[in-house]
Structure 1
Amino acid sequence: MRASSFSRSTPPNDELRLVPVKAEGIRQPELRRRAKEGGATAVTKLYLAVLGVEEVGLLSVDVHVKDFYIYEIYVVRRCRRNRIGSYLLAQAERIAVEHGHPVAQLKPHALDPEHVGRDVLVEWYRGCGYVPISQGDSEFWLKRLAI
């Protein structure tokens, strides 16, 4: 699959890869904007999903000593509905396990609400095994990981 002819099917795993990056190293304007607006801290790590040579998604995680937070998953608008978000979520969980964290935490927040609403996002996370941290609070979610 060539980057210039993005299709609506799931890209083969060998074509989609995760690359660690700093915000200033991101070329794709939509992703660069998200990385700069994301409010990174000293423990934030940024990763790009790259398909061929095209930057198609952004993953931002906070790796603390005791906790692991998935801060942001963002897929370029024209590349959505191709399981790139699922790939980034799986990679975030892999990174958590590699750092010895048995739980991944996140706060479902629609970064592009006119295209993907919070309800859709919450259902996606639920389908991926995430649950609210407490019964009355649906703001923060977690998933127990096998380490």
Structure 2
Amino acid sequence: MNTGANLNDILNESSELWKNSESKEDFTIVLHSCRTGRYTLDSDGNVKEPIASEISKSKEMKGVTIIGPDERDGFSANGKEIGPQTTKFTDNNGEYLPNTPRDQHGKQTKKFGYWNSFKNGERTNKQPGNTKPAGKEKEKENFFKKLFN
């Protein structure tokens, strides 16, 4: 799933709330897929938009906030989500370096990345990876804290 149309199809099949809503504006969708909120560079050095940004700018996701991690989403041994963390033996795009032994894949540094929020193709928020990703209400709360503090 890497387009707004694909996500819309999945949500129409699996969510009554999504399917029956007249407007999708102000919905928040959190992708727990590794690096879906990460800006990368192509082989020519051009910046590539994150998948979460591309999904958010589709006509099917107009007005919907899409949140994705910029690193691999880590989990504890018992399956509890830890959040996005940088991974050892990777390049600037988060890809494993050549000749990295398979048993070293997934070794995290304990340095947290971020949850990036996108709406209509624009990044609207960047939350620390050691926090639970939050949508519009959290963004409003942060705005008022900044405004009155």
Q: Give TM-score, length-normalised by structure 1.
A: 0.32
Structure with bigger RCO (C-alpha 8 Å, 6+ apart)? 2
Which entry has the higher C-alpha Rg, 1 or 2? 2
| TM-score normalised according to structure 2 size | 0.32
